[in-house]
Structures are given as C-alpha cells and as structure tokens.
Structure 1
Amino acid sequence: MKKIIYSFLFLTAALLCGCSDLLDRESLTTMEDTNYWRSESDLRSYANHFYEIFFPGYGLEWDRDWAYSYSTGFCDDFVSEGTQSYFTNKVPTSLGSKSESRGCSTEYYGPTWGFGVIRSLNIFIDRLNTVARNNVDDETFRHWMGVAKFLKGFQYADLVSVYGDVPYFANVVEDDDPDTMYKDRDARGAVMDSVYVLFNYALDNMRDDDGALFLNKYIAAGYISRFMLNEGTWQKYHGTERGGGDANRAKKYLELAVKAGDMVINSGKWSFDSDYKSLFASFDLSSNKEVLFYRHYDAALNITHAIGSYNGGSESETGVNLSFIKAFNCSDGKPYTISEVEGANDFSLENLAKTRDPRFDACFYNKPDVNSSSLIYHYKYASKEALQYYEATHNVIKPTWYSDFNENDAPLMRLGEIVLNWLEAKEELALSYGGTAVTQTDLDRSINAIRKRPLDEDAKSRGIQQTKALDINAIPEDPARDSDVPALLWEIRRERRMELFNEGNRIKDLRRWHKLNYMDYNRDADNYLGPWIDFSKEIVMPNNDTNEYLDKLVGVLTVQKKDGSRVTYDGSNASEMVGFYVVRNATNREPFSDRNYLAPIGQQQIDDYSQRGYTLTQTYGW
C-alpha cells in the first residue's frame, strides 16, 4: 500500500496567509483565487496542510507538542518527585497564538487560544461554495465540504473543552469588519450546537474511503464519538455557570456519540486482531484492523520522532503511582480487593505483570527502574525489543529506538477508543435520558471485544492471560467506587483508564466527569507511592555499582510497609528495604478550585480588545 507522508504535504507559499492579529490575516491574493479551487487536486492540496496541524501523532523529531507521553502526563495517574505539577493559579500575561497553529496546553491537553485555524477553514468553506462548486461534481464538493466542516467542528470542540465560551465565526471575517473580528465570546451551548450541525454534515457527506491516510467519514465518526461524549457528559455533570446543565443538549450530544460509534462498529471494517503493544510500537500500521487512522514515519524520508525517549525511563520526570496501579483489574476482571486471582494483593512488578490485565504488561517493564520517579518504567510507545537497548544487553543498538530516530507509526484513531466512547454514551443515556439499558451484547461488542485481543508470544510464554469477560449480571462491586457513580459506569471508566493510558484522555475525562478532586493527592496516600520493591534483590545497577547507588540514598530511600509504617535506609538495613516505594520528597500540588475546570484567557488578549474599544469577557471564576 502506497504511503502518503502527510508531514511533507503543505501548500505552496502563495497559499499561506500571514497574520497580524488573532483574526487580522491577509486576504487570499487574486492569484490564489484565480489559480486554485479549480479541481479536486486543488482542494486536496489545501486540505493537506491541516494534517500536520490536527494530527501530529508522535510529533516530528524532537517536536513534542501534543505528543503522547510527553504532553499527556498531567493527570492523576502519575507522580513526580517534589511538589506535583500545579494548576494555573492566576491569569496569564498571554495565552494565545496569532498563527495558524494548535499549540498544546498540557494542563488541559487542548489548544491554546487562537482562531487562525478557524479562519483558514472558513476560507476553505467559502471557496468551496463560491468557486469550487462550479468546477467539481456534487460528490466531490460534498466530500470536501464535509472535511472542512469536520475540521472546523474539531477545532471548536477542542477550544470549548478548554475555555468554555468562545467566539464563533460562521464565515470569513473581512478586514473592514472589526465588530465581528472583535466579537465577545458566544455561549458554550450555542457554539456546540453549531458544532453538532457541522459534525452531522460531515457524517452525511464524507466519503467512505478517500485513500490511505486521508480522512473519511469513519475516521470523522471516531473523533465525533469522542467530542460528543465529552460535551454530553459535560452538560450532565456541570452547572450553568460553566455552560452545562442542559439536559436536552446532553441527550442529543450523547445520541450523536452513539450514532457515530454505531457507524464504525456496524460497518464491520475494523476488529481487534493484534496485541495491544503492536498498536503503538509497529513500524507499519497499514494492515492493523483496529486502527482507522495513523501517522506513518519513515527514516528514509527523514520523518522520525522521539517518543521512545519520552517513555518513563531516564528522560522521564514522572512515573505512575500506586493509586493507578491498584486501578488495574486482575485477570478475573475484578479489582484486586475482591479478586480471586492468586497473588492479587502482591504489588511487586513481576507479579503485577502476571496477575493483571495484559495491558499492564504491555505498558510497564517488570523490573524496577531507578530512573523513574516511582521506580516503574512505562514504555507503551516502544517495543519489547527496545528494552534490549534499555538494559544494554546487546552490543548492537538499533537506532530506531534511540534519540529522535524512532519510526514506529502513531495510531491516531482506533477502535478501542471508539467502542468505549460508544458504550459510555449508551450507559449515560440509559441512566439519565431515557435510553435503552446496556445489554450483554453491548458489552461483548466493546469491553469484552477489547479483552479478547490476541496476546503476543512473549506474554504467552510468561503465563499472562486474557482478562475475563464482563458479565452484565455480575458487575463487580468495587469497595473503592465513588458513591455517586453506578457500578457499570465505574467499570466503564476503569476500562478507559487502562485502555487509553497516557494518550491525553485522562485529564479530559476528569474534567468532564466533574472529578478534578482526584488531582488532590492528599485524598489518597497511594498517590505518593510506587510498587512493592525488595531493594536488596531487585535493584541491579549497570556496572555492578548497586552499592554505590544505595550509598547515595542513606537517609533518603524510604519504603512503606503494608501496615503503613515506614523504614528509611540507614546504610546498614538493606534487608529491611522491602515495601511500597515512597516517592522522594513527593508533596501535594498547590491548592486549586472549581475555576480550574476551564482555562483563563490571557490578559494581553483581553487588552487587545479593549484597546480597540471592544470587550473580551474573562472565563468564569477568573
């Protein structure tokens, strides 16, 4: 299959617009309007430059904006040494971009304030209507209009998830229309109603298939299931002060999430046919039946990335905490507290790999790693072969797992997320909006289909087992479940946490569920701990300098016993250093409040408006 490397697909310089303000961009030149929009090739050329903007995957070389692992660590899964990363606690001087970009705010895993991308998409829509419509057939016109409207909805849905109310620009803003250019923010609900219309058009008009690595209606449906689930649950769990609390909107958004999921699931085009690790560490995802959309890398074309260097090893400032580890189901499909699996209460890394859902083994090294803050190395985005480099057991090191020479493909939209979006939306509709109750068939098409993924040969050789299917008549009753979350919904959320680990979804989930309180680490002491470690037996340093390593930790290295007591290394009690690793100097993040559910706008952006006689309202609570 021919690979289309969209990293290099850009418009010519003549098609790129300058920018002197958030929306004050130079108009398309006469030459552009004369020479473009005359054929499908022109439309594709214009659309191609959006791929790098919206779908960066693992990034390019050392570029880390939006890259998994590096930009996705702000959530309750991770712990760092010292004070935890904090929420914004004051209005920033500036939080916007005047360029056509989607700069990533890691606190929200969403875009920074800016509308250059929206202007480019409005130009696309305008030229399709006014020029291209007369030059291409109806099917071609509708497909590319669907692409443009999908991307516009994508950007607005992302902006709304970060800021709530945002100015909605229905059309291209002309230079002589400052009243529109500097309009205040529109209500969240009104913006998302417009997005709802855009998304429906995309689903109705985009092609089933437009070639490898190009957008089609199924890929769009995957993203639409994500965005509509996000907004539907936001409307349910948040009040009117943050643009929520509208039951009618919640219902219609969740119904669209289900419709989009149905479109993918019922097509029969995708299935769970490969092991979990292969989704993230393969050099070619073209034949993977679970992946709808991916970014391809090729060292021969100098298109590589550095995701392997941002796994949880020597370059990582964080590691997963014990609270996250305890959230993983055992292989019988139950949380460890009620599991019947032998060794369910043993939190040593080697045992965790054997007794937990196989995704644990696919994500984490089964030996302690002293370079990780919590001594557990997460390598979801590198192959098991990469551990040979990490352990330095081979003299020959393959460059594909070193520095920024990585060339494993990046999955962008996959069936695993779509079926979980679909299932959660169905359950929320059933709980609150008169929807049909989730059935065993629904579970079998989603959670249980995920759990039946094939295991890789290494996992099989070590006795790792697939997780038992979830039975609608025997939903586990987790003693740790929040009282306001029904049992099935709790298990759906747990499945998301396992399946979508370190992909940027967790912090967005906490926000939409109104569960940002999970980020207060003092509510659960396990947030400051790592796995169970026997230091005298398990810590083996390169060049046999383990004793030298331990000597540096006298008075610092601490473990916590199961009864809660702690032992600190004094230089002579190495045999007593057995217990949950206490992350060094880990303390809670600075206080935060409900206003942190949405981001403030930078003061400079507000001043830009006021200097021109207009008002840009600050985010609620700021």
Structure 2
Amino acid sequence: MKKQILLILPLVILVLGACDDFLDRSSLTEMNDDTYWTTENNLRLFSNGFYSNYFVGYNSGWGSAYAPLRGYYFSDDFSSTGKLGSFETQAPSSRADDDEVVSMMNSYAGPTWNFAWVRKANIFMERIAAMQEAGVELSEETFQHWTAVARFFRGFEYSRLVSVFGDVPYYGEVIDDSNLDALYKDRDDRTFVMDQVYDDFVYVMENMRTSDGNAQYLNRYIAASFISRLMLFEGTWQKYHLNNTEKASKYLELAADAADFVMSSGMYSFTSDFRSLFGSQDLAGNKEVILFRHYDASIGITHHVASYSNLTEGQYNAPNLSLAKAFICTDGKPYQLSAVPNADELSIQNLAATRDPRFEATFWDAPKKESSTLLYACKFIDRVGVTYYGSTYPSMYGSNTNTNDAPVMRLGEVVLNWIEAKAELATMGGAAVTQADLDVSINAIRSRPLDAVAIEKGIQQTVPLLLAELPDDPARDADVSALIWEIRRERRMEFVYEHSRLLDIKRWNKIDYMSGADNPDILRGPWIDFETDFPEWLVEEKEGVLRVETADGTVVTYNGSNAAEIVGYYVPENVSDRDPFTDRVYLAPVGNAQISEYMDKGYTLSQTPGWE
C-alpha cells in the first residue's frame, strides 16, 4: 500500500514548562516529556507536527491561510469590484499569537508576531541533544539528521518572521519563563537573525538525510528547495533595500547552491503539463513535484481550493490587465514587440490563443461573470471539473470536499530561484549567466508538454529564451536589466495565485506596483467587445454600471443604446484605487499591546520603523 505522509499531520504537544506571555503556547494533546524521547519513531512523529504549518498545500476544509487562490490574493496581479484592498494605516491594538496554529496575514504574506513555532523547534533540538547525552541507542547520523530537521524548521520560521517584521528577537534556545531579560529583550537586527538562519541552513545541507524512507518525508532535497526560496528572498532584500552586497552575495550563493543540489540530483524533471500539477487527484510519481500534500475524502482530508476554480464560485480578487499583459507571446516576446498575428489584441480569447501556454492553463478562455475582472482563474482544478458548470458538481469539485493534490514544492520554482540568484550574483561580481543556464531553467520550463485539451485548441509552446536575443520590453523598469526583467516575468507567469508575487515585489523594492495611480492597469480587466463576446451583460440592470476604457483612455458607460461602443478594457464595477501608502508597508508593525506589555515588565519593545 502506497504511503502518503501528508494525509495526516499530527500535532504533538508535550507537557512542558510554560513561557510567559507572548511566548506561551496552549497544550492541545498532553504527552509525558520524561518518557517520550526514547525512539527515532517518536522523533519523526514530533517532526510531523511542523508539517501543517510549513507544508500547507491547499490547507484543509475551509482553511485558507497559505493556500493558493484563497490565501495569496493581495498583490498587483489581482483587482476587485469597489475599492481595492488597502494596506493597514496604523499599528494594530494587538498582534500576538501564542498558539501552534496555521495563521497568515494576507497583506504581508506571512505570520503574525508569534514565537511558538520557534520555541517548538528549540525544544526539539534540546530533546534530541538530551537523548544523545542520555545514551539512547541511535547512531550519530540519526542525531545529526533530526537536529537538521529541527534547525530547518527554526530557520524557516525565522525567515518568515523576518520577511514580515524585519528585526525580531532571536531565540536560539528554549527560554525559561523566569528569565525576563531574555523573554523581553528587544528586537535583534534582521541581518544578525538571518546569519543565524544561514548557519541553520548550512547545517541542514550538510547533515539532513537525502532520503528518510519515503519521498514525502522531509529530506535534504525538499529542504534545499525551500532554502533556495528563503535565501533568495533575503539575498535580494539585502541588495535592494539595504545595499549590503556582502550579505546579499552570501545568501544568494546559498540559494543557488541549494537549488543546484536539487537540479543536479537527476531525480526531478519537467514531464508534466502545467494544469496537471494543480488539478491531479494523485501527484505521486509526478517528476516535477518535489513535495505534495495528498487529500483523501475517505479519511476526511479535503480542501476547498478547487471549488473556487470551478467557474461557478465567485472570484472577488481576480486577475487584472497588468497580469494579463505580462504574459509573453509564443514567440517569446512581449506583445508590443511580438510578430505573432494579433499579438496586441488583448481580449481573453486572443490572449489564450497567442500567449505562453500557462495563460490558457491558468485562465478560462472567455469572459466569466463570476470574476470581478471577467478573467477567471481555473488553474487549481482539472479539465473535467470545469465541465460541470451549469450542473451539479461532484463533491471532489464543490464545497470544501475537494480532493485534488497540492504541489507544495516543485522543480519549476527551484530552477527559477536558481537562475534569479545567479543573475543577481552576476551583478555583484559573480559569473555571468550563460545560455546553458537558461536552457536548464527557463527554457526547461517552457518545454513542458502540453495536455490534450491545449493541443486540440492549437496552443503552442513558447520558444526558448536566448541570451543573445533578449527582448527589450518597453515596459521594463529602467533600473532592471533585460535578463533580470525576463526572469521576473517568468516567475509572474509561473506562480499566479501562489506564494510568490507579493513577496517578490517586496524583496525587489517594487511595492509601488500596488498603486493604481502608478500602475493603472491593476484597475482594469482585459479587452472585451461586449456586443460580440459577452452580450448577456448588455441588459437593463447594467445601464449606468457597465463601463469600458477605450485605447485612448476614454471611459464609456453603457446606457442601453450604445452597445456597439462598449468595446475596450473592462472596468470592474465601482473600482477605485487602494488608499495611498508609503514604504513603511514593506514591513508590519507590532501591536501596541505588545509594546505596553514590555513596558509593564520594565522593558522596551521597539516599533517597526515608520509605524511609531
């Protein structure tokens, strides 16, 4: 019988001394700390308690934290009716959490001010060391592996905390609740913290097993894939925010080395079509998927992400014109430069026919009223699921009983992390990117096979990216090279509604992309000729409401007698720009209650810069 490690994610909570205040965590299941730490199987069981927090997949039930489509929708890729979602405008009254639960702040794509998972990892490390000191009969390799597992999760948590808050207090050991000086110390500099994370990850790369008996148990290949993501974030943050090329190079080199470890293993390859990565009922055996979460209704492990891709459920945060324009044509060029016929016709149907195949695999190829922008994402459901539109959906495609597997980590991300790290290193004295580098990364992705539906539609693969013929996109930012611009574009096409976009524009120092005043395409949908493409909306109730923007910027409103004029970029109903924001939104403020708590104990907790 095939084992699926991510079907059940046990949370092991031991009876331990409680930390004070914000470091406390609630016990859900009691186990005896004095007798538990005796076997490797118990170590594995304890480690599985981290999986639900870091390998979320499509979450479960109605859970949306860290789930694609349902958790990651705050970025320049998506728009809505009414006013676009805004950044917070003041420090919250409280921003603390002390439970081991999966929690996420959408507008920062990361966790709240919570150190329970840090403490859990430190407990794990200390108990492993105590087992070794007590002479538990396990090999040195076993102790090193499980220490690496604990250090990986600690590094993962600190990477996420730093991405949200910047400076955070660093705890490298379990803190006794009587040690107030440690419990209430102020925030440590982010670079100090990330140097500790770097050391953790180096240890992981040297000591974690390459196999722990099942491909879906945490191993060095899985860990290295995430390390490439987390070190890429911090390396580029150090470059673009702090101008610290020494630290940027250090972190980016580890990102590239970790990705290379996975790529050079020969274990993974691009043999799957794009849609099957997200809609498959069983990802076991998919050579592109490094880690996945399996769902099985027979034991009550289901999710709801597919149902929000099924064409019936509404997509309030929907793909916008800015995202649609970013997709290259099949000749590898942006539409302004492309020789593909009708490349500059930005209707949904033509976009699906002329763009990189990921467009057709990600979006429905006709306007859908269920989307705020009329461009509907059906990426996270298989080709069969959408055929039930207008009828009753089987449970696997509706409600919160979906069972398609979630790719938690895949080769597509690893190679894009690798090529971006190499390109950034090249700007700081590293080796130049070669055509061979592009061929094993971006061009390998572009050579993915097409599925039968795409082939029947006449969808074509995108031509390879050639270093000697890089497109000079007229929309490219002046401070970004043509190569790095195309690498960034590739990420945008690859990760729609996944973990990446908000974190990417934050680390690149490009949060202004979120401003409609600076980027008006985020306030529009694709080009639609309503009389031809969507006549069902040319009705009385849409009079005075339905609007389009013509090529010259004129907004035309439907009045009941001007149907032939309702041709242009769709203007979502009542859409308006989000509130103005400043650079302080790159990092989150801590809560006023947490600052007061420190003061009450006689200590100081610094507020995030800009939020005082």
* Residue 491 (str. 1) matches residue 491 (str. 2): no
* Number of residues of Structure 1 aligned to a counterpart in Structure 2: 607
Distance apart, 1:234 and its partner CA: 0.5
1:186 to partner: Cα distance? 0.6
- Residue 523 of structure 1 aligns with which residue? 518
- TM (norm. structure 2) is 0.96
SS at structure 2 position matched to 1:248: helix
Which one-letter code corresponds to 2:399 in the other structure?
A: S
Question: Structure 1 residue 17: deviation in Å?
Answer: 7.7
8 Å CA contact retained: 2:14, 2:30: no
CA distance in 1, matches of 2:293, 2:599: 42
1:202 aligns with 2:204: yes
The equivalent residue for 1:142 is 144
For the residue of structure 2 that corresponds to 1:105, the secondary structure is: coil
Find the aligned partners of 1:256 and 1:370 in 2 and give their Cα distance.
Answer: 46
Letter in 2 for 1:219: I
CA distance in 2, matches of 1:183, 1:151: 22
Q: List alignment gaps of at least 5 residues for structure 2.
A: none
Q: Is 351-360 or 303-312 further displaced after alignment?
A: 303-312
2:436 corresponds in structure 1 to 441
The alpha-carbon deviation at position 565 of structure 1 amounts to 2.5
Which deviates the most, 2-11 or 605-614?
2-11
Structure 1 window deviating more from structure 2 (16-25 vs 101-110): it is 16-25
Q: Hey, what does 1:607 align to over in structure 2?
A: 596
Aligned pairs for 1:374-389 within 5 A: 374-389=373-388
- Per the alignment, residue 495 of structure 2 pairs with 500
Alignment partner of 1:407 out of 385, 403, 408: 403
Q: What corresponds to 1:225 in structure 2? A: 228
Match of 1:351, SS?
A: helix
Q: Find out whether 1:68 has 2:64 as its counterpart.
A: no
**Alpha-carbon separation, structure 1, partners of 2:189 and 2:87:** 24
> Structure 2 vs 1, CA of residues 99 and 476 (structure 1 numbering), >3 Å: closer, same or farther?
same
Q: For the Cα contact (< 8 Å) 1:146–1:201, is it kept in 2?
A: yes
| Aligned positions of 1:162-201 closer than 5 A | 162-201=164-203
Who is 1:307 aligned against?
305
**Equivalent-residue separation in structure 2 for 1:171 and 1:449 (angstroms):** 43
Q: From 570, 573, 579, give the equivalent of 1:581.
A: 570
In 1: Cα distance, 2:312 partner to 2:20 partner: 42
Q: Conserved in 1, the CA contact under 8 Å of 2:12 and 2:49?
A: no
Q: CA 1:289 to 1:534, structure 2 compared with 1: closer, same or farther past 3 Å?
A: same
Q: Give the RMSD, CA atoms, in angstroms.
A: 1.9
Give the structure 1 partner of residue 470 of structure 2: 475
Cα distance in 1 for partners of 2:553, 2:277 equals: 39
CA apart distance, 1:8: 3.0
| Aligned counterparts of 1:273 and 1:223: Cα–Cα separation in 2 | 21
- Percent identical across equivalent pairs? 50
Cα distance in 1 for partners of 2:418, 2:569 equals 37
Q: State the one-letter code of the partner of 2:445.
A: I
Shift in Å, 1:19 = 6.7
CA distance in 1, matches of 2:333, 2:54: 37
Identify which range, 273-282 or 309-318, moves more after superposition.
309-318
Q: Is it true that 1:50 corresponds to 2:50 in the alignment?
A: yes
Contact 2:18/2:177 (8 A) holds in 1: no
Q: Residues 152 and 223 of structure 2 are in contact (CA less than 8 Å); yes or no, is this contact kept in structure 1? A: yes
- Following superposition, the deviation at residue 621 of structure 1 comes to 1.2
Q: Any idea what SS the aligned residue of 1:473 has?
A: helix
Cα distance change of structure 1 residues 107 and 357 upon mapping to structure 2, 3 Å threshold: same
- AA aligned to 1:316 is Q
Question: In the superposition, relative to structure 1, how do residues 7 and 601 fare at CA in structure 2: closer, same or farther (>3 Å)?
Answer: farther
Q: CA deviation at 1:62?
A: 0.6
Match of 1:358 in 2: 357
Give the corresponding residue for 1:543. none
Alpha-carbon separation, structure 1, partners of 2:363 and 2:204: 39
Range with greater deviation from structure 2 (104-113 or 315-324): 315-324
Distance change in 2, residues 1:31/1:497 (3 Å): closer
Aligned to 1:235: 238
Return the letter of the residue paired with 1:185. Answer: R
> Structure 1, residues 238-297: CA drift from partner, whole Å, max 9, x if none?
1xxxxx232211111010001001100111110000100000000111110000001000
Matches within 5 A, 1:274-285: 274-285=272-283
* Corresponding residue of 1:241: none
Compute the displacement of 1:574 (Å).
2.1
Taking the aligned partners of 1:344 and 1:30, their CA distance within structure 2 comes to: 62
Q: Structure 1: how far apart are the matches of 2:452 and 2:26?
A: 57
State the Cα distance separating 1:397 from its structure 2 match: 3.2
Q: Is 2:327–2:355's contact at 8 Å kept on the other side of the alignment?
A: yes
Residues 6 and 292 of structure 2 are in contact (CA less than 8 Å); yes or no, is this contact kept in structure 1? no
Q: Is the 8 A contact 2:52 2:102 kept in 1?
A: no
Shift of 1:573: 2.1
Distance 1:466 1:140 in 2: 46
Q: Tell which deviates more after alignment, 485-494 or 347-356.
A: 347-356
Counterpart AA for 1:414: R
Point out the more displaced range, 313-322 or 114-123.
313-322
Structure 1 residue 20: deviation in Å? Answer: 5.8
What is the deviation of 1:26?
8.4
Cα distance, 1:84 vs. partner? 0.8
Which position in structure 2 is the counterpart of 1:286?
284
1:344 and 2:343 correspond: yes
Whole-Å separation in 2 of the counterparts to 1:305 and 1:480 = 38
Q: What's the counterpart of residue 621 of structure 1?
A: 610
Question: How far 1:182 moved relative to its partner?
Answer: 1.1
Q: Relative to 1, partners in 2 of residues 1:359 and 1:179: Cα closer, same or farther, differing over 3 Å?
A: same
Relative distance call for 1:468 and 1:116 in structure 2 (3 A) is same
Deviations along 1:179-237, whole A, 9 cap, x unmatched? 11111111111000000000010111111112132110011001000111100110111
Q: 1:566 Cα shift?
A: 2.9
Cα distance, 1:578 vs. partner? 2.1
Distance change in 2, residues 1:17/1:323 (3 Å) = farther
Deviates more, 1:379-388 or 1:149-158: 379-388
Q: Deviations over 1:378-418 (max 9, x none)?
A: 1111112121122x2xx563221111111001111110001
Equivalent-residue separation in structure 1 for 2:292 and 2:539 (angstroms): 44
Code of the residue aligned with 1:270 in structure 2: it is: Y
* AA matched with 2:361: A
Looking at structure 2, the residues matched to 387 and 123 of structure 1 have their Cα atoms a distance apart, in angstroms, of: 46
CA deviation profile, 1:315-358 (whole Å, cap 9, x unmatched): 32121111111110000000000000011011121111110000
What TM-score, normalized by structure 1, do the two folds share? Answer: 0.94
* Distance 1:26-1:594 versus aligned 2 partners, 3 A rule: closer
